[in-house]
Structure formats: C-alpha cells, structure tokens
C-alpha cells in the first residue's frame, strides 16, 4: 500500500526528501509539498496524507501543531537541522537527523503506538479502568533520583463552591505536613507546588497576596511548547509563598486563556512532578470539550487546562457547595466527571460551606444522605461554613494554615489532606 506523505521541508533538503521518497518504489507518494505550516495543517485536515515530514525549523512548528497534525490522522516525522538538539518537546512520532534515512523514519513513525491526542488516550484508558483501584505512578529508575511527585486536581462545578479555597489550603496543609514529617523519605527537599489552571478567572495569586503580573502558567506553557521547560525553569517561575510551598500563578486576565494550550501542559505536569513532591492544581469548572461545540479542531480549547489536569491527576478533589443548589450541581458534576474518565477510586468528594441555615438542623446527615441517595457517594468529607476565618485569610493574603490554624475550616481541610494521603497509600506501598 502506498503511504501518502505531506512534505513541509525547508531549503534544499526538500528536493532530497522528495527524491528519496519517490525512489522508494511505490511505498510512498508525496501528496503535497507545503510552503508553510498553515498549508500543512490544511492538507492534513483534508486527509491528503497519513504522514507529515516537517523541518524542525518550520516557522510556527510547536507541540500544539504536532498534536493537531496527529489529531488529523497524520503521523509526524521531524527533520532535524544540523544544529537542532533536544526536539523531544515537540512530541513527534519520529525524528530524523539531517541527511538521515527519511523512509526508515516514516516506517518507524507508522509502527509507533497510536498517540492520537495523548490526553484523550489517557482519558480513554481511565474510562476503561473506572472501577479499578488507583494505578501507581511511574517510578524513577532504580538507583535514580526521587520518584515523581503526586498530582492532585481540585475541581468542582460552577457556582464558586470553594475550589480555590480548598486548593490553596490543601497545598498549605500538605506543605505543613511535609515540614513536620519525621521520616527521611518525606524530606527529599522537594516542596509542594500550587498551580492556578482556572482559565475562567484564577484567583490564587490574589488569595496569596501576590502581584498578578507574575508570568505564571502562561510562561510555563510557552517554555514547554518551545522545549525550554525543565525543573530549573519551572522553579524560576514558581516563587515560594511560605515554608515548603511554591506557586505557579494563573492568567492575570481571563481572556488570555488561549495562552495555555493543552498539549504544552502535559510537559508542565511532568516538570511539576520532578520539582515538587505534591502538585495541587486549582482548575476551572467546565468539562465541555470545546471543539465539540465549535466543530473546529484547530481552535484553542478553553477547557484544555482543566481536562489535562483531570487526566493527569492521581487524585481529584471534587468540591461542591453545602446548600441545595450546590448539592444538585455536585450530583450532576460527579456524573460528568465519571464520563470524563475519573473513576470513583480516584476522587475525594468534599462538601464545602456546610451550614444548618442551608441544609437543616443536622446538615452533615442531610448532605451525606442526599449524596448517598443520588450519587452513591458514601464517604463525602464535610467542610463547615467559616466566614470569619476565610474572610480574614483573604484580607491578609495568607493561607488558612498560617492565618487561622485552629479554625474549623482549616481543621476540616487537614482531614481532606489525610484522606488524599490514604487514597494514595496503595500507590506509595505498591
């Protein structure tokens, strides 16, 4: 069978590539010689080829573009220039050195496992594993450095149920736990990293009293997409905001959400796991697949950051509001989350702002009963309404752990942190 090849190769190398492929006796047919990335993406979207051979220095080529090509059904072979090194960040199916055997690289790309949208694949795998217990995260090679850190996504439906409050306090709690842990294993020198990935209006910087001009997640995404994000680069973007706690702030203005493309976040999570023992991610509320709404697979996806964090997370903390509307939204949200591939064994349900005025004289029993009846949740954790402590912490720009250490809300979040640790215990001992 002849393989249709799209070529977007710069300079004299183009003639060489086309000649070599034509000489390969009917195995390949160069179906389009593209002048630029836009033409290549268009040709791939039109299904004109099953492989794209692209110069590493083609203007605009980045991880997102490679992801889109693959999403259009084309495997991607990158042709490295003499001075190109470290092209792994592009996520191509094969890389061939200047003057190398392009036909062989195409065969290798075609034989490589199907990585069509790595995130979707991961979500799919998780969907299949819905009833399975938590899977161990990959470990560092024997004799290597510390194992990858854990990633916790804090998510919840619309209506400001307290995702940011939970994420900030949970991160501070985990940092405090690490600082106080007696065993040497816990003291590997790595911090807790709090990431604001809410593309609808992140408020982590404000909650911590930081200037919202800090470069944050958009800068980390940019560095990832151009292959410059490593542990040192991520550390430079994440100021310490307390003992053992770093923060990667979010978008300073919500309309800048296209600056956080999904494919680059995979690399951000990877660097985060190397940098921090725990990464806690505050996410947006929506799980809608944007491209399904717009029918434009090239369009940036506003919910990509949330979906990417949920797919990557070892544990998802789901936060709902402790009032009738909040609970109803929570029940629906749990269904949406299951559809997105987050298995019950991988989530912790938290009902926040629990209060008798909204749920009756015994609010805990009422909420637990409703969640059991309508969502089959047996082990929801409850966080009480604690206006004084939350307002005080916000006003001071400090975490609840620092500002109101003995407040009911902080004590309840400590319980959430312990629970998260228990959910992950089989992983740690596995």
- Smallest gap from Cβ 29 to ligand ATP, in A, equals 52
Q: Which C-beta is closer to Mg ion: that of 70 or that of 163?
A: 163
160 interacts with ligand ATP by CB under 6 A: yes
390 interacts with ligand ATP by CB under 6 A: yes
Q: Which C-beta is closer to ligand ATP: that of 63 or that of 163?
A: 163
409 interacts with ligand ATP by CB under 6 A: yes
Q: Which C-beta is closer to ligand ATP: that of 258 or that of 408?
A: 408
**Residues that bind Mg ion in the complex, under the rule CB under 5 A:** 163-164
Residues 6 or more apart whose Cβ sits within 8 Å of residue 40: 6, 8, 32, 34, 52, 54, 58, 69
- Can you tell me the distance from the alpha carbon of 180 to that of 190, in angstroms, rounded to the nearest whole number? 14
Q: Which C-beta is closer to ligand ATP: that of 117 or that of 286?
A: 286
- Smallest gap from Cβ 207 to ligand ATP, in A, equals 7
Name the helix (H) or strand (E) containing 319.
strand 315-321
Q: Which C-beta is closer to ligand ATP: that of 68 or that of 398?
A: 398
Q: Among 203, 221, 303, 306, which residue sits at the site for ligand ATP (rule: CB under 6 A)?
A: 203
How far, CA to CA in Å, does 265 sit from each of 163, 200, 370?
A: 20, 17, 36
What is the three-class DSSP state of 277? strand
- Smallest gap from Cβ 203 to ligand ATP, in A, equals 6
161 interacts with ligand ATP by CB under 6 A: yes
394 interacts with ligand ATP by CB under 6 A: yes
DSSP conformation letters of 330-364:
HHHHHHHHHHTT--GGGEEEEEEEE-HHHH-SSHH
User: How many residues make up the chain in this entry?
Assistant: 430
Burial class from Cβ neighbours inside 10 Å (0-12, 13-18, 19+) for residue 374 reads middle
Site for ligand ATP in 274-303 (CB under 6 A): 285
- Smallest gap from Cβ 408 to ligand ATP, in A, equals 8
Q: Using CB under 6 A, which of the segments 31-39, 116-124, 158-166, 323-331 binds ligand ATP?
A: 158-166
72 interacts with ligand ATP by CB under 6 A: no
Site for ligand ATP in 331-370 (CB under 6 A): 352-353
- Can you tell me the distance from the alpha carbon of 283 to that of 96, in angstroms, rounded to the nearest whole number? 38
- Can you tell me the distance from the alpha carbon of 344 to that of 428, in angstroms, rounded to the nearest whole number? 19
Q: Which C-beta is closer to ligand ATP: that of 164 or that of 249?
A: 164
198 interacts with ligand ATP by CB under 6 A: yes
Note whether 184 and 215 are within 8 A (CB). Answer: no
Selection from 383, 393, 386, 391 nearest residue 322 by Cα? 383
Count, residues near ligand ATP per rule CB under 6 A? 20
- Can you tell me the distance from the alpha carbon of 306 to that of 8, in angstroms, rounded to the nearest whole number? 33
Residues that bind ligand ATP (CB under 6 A): 156, 160-165, 198, 201, 203, 285, 352-353, 383, 385-387, 390, 394, 409
């Amino acid at each position: 069978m002849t393989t249709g090849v799209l070529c977007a190769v710069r300079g004299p190398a183009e003639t060489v590539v086309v000649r070599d492929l034509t000489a390969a006796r009917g195995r390949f047919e160069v179906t389009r010689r593209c002048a630029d990335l836009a033409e290549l993406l268009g040709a791939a979207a039109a299904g004109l080829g099953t492989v794209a051979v692209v110069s590493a220095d083609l203007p605009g080529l980045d991880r997102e573009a490679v992801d889109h090509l693959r999403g259009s059904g084309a495997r991607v072979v990158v042709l490295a220039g003499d001075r190109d090194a470290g092209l792994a960040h592009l996520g191509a199916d094969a890389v061939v050195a200047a003057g190398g055997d392009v036909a062989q690289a195409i065969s290798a790309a075609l034989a490589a496992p199907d990585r069509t949208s790595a995130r979707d694949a991961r979500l799919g795998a998780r969907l299949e594993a819905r009833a399975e217990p938590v899977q161990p995260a990959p470990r560092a090679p024997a004799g290597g450095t510390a194992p990858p850190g854990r990633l916790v996504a804090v998510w919840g439906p619309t209506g400001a149920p307290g995702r940011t409050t939970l994420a900030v306090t949970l991160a501070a709690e985990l940092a405090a736990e690490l600082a106080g842990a007696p065993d040497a294993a816990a003291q590997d020198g790595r911090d807790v990293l709090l990431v604001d990935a809410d593309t609808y209006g992140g408020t982590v910087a404000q909650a911590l009293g930081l200037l919202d001009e800090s470069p944050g997640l958009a800068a980390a995404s940019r560095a990832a997409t151009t292959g410059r994000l490593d542990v040192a680069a991520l550390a430079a973007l994440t100021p310490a905001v307390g003992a053992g706690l770093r923060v990667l702030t979010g978008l300073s203005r919500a309309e800048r959400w296209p600056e956080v493309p999904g494919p680059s976040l995979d690399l951000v999570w990877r660097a985060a796991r190397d940098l921090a023992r725990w990464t806690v991610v505050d996410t947006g509320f929506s799980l809608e697949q944007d491209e399904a709404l717009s029918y434009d697979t090239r369009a940036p996806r506003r919910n990509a950051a949330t979906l990417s964090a949920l797919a990557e997370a070892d544990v998802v903390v789901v936060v709902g509001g402790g009032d009738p509307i909040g609970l109803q939204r929570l029940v629906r949200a749990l269904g949406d989350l299951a559809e997105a591939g987050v298995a019950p064994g991988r989530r912790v349900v938290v009902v926040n702002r629990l209060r008798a005025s909204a749920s009756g004289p015994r609010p805990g029993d009422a909420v637990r009963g409703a969640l059991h009846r309508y969502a089959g949740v047996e082990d929801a954790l409850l966080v009480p309404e604690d206006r004084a402590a939350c307002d005080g912490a916000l006003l001071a720009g400090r975490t609840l752990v620092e500002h109101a250490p003995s407040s009911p809300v902080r004590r309840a979040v400590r319980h959430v942190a312990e629970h998260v640790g228990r959910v992950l215990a089989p992983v740690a001992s596995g």
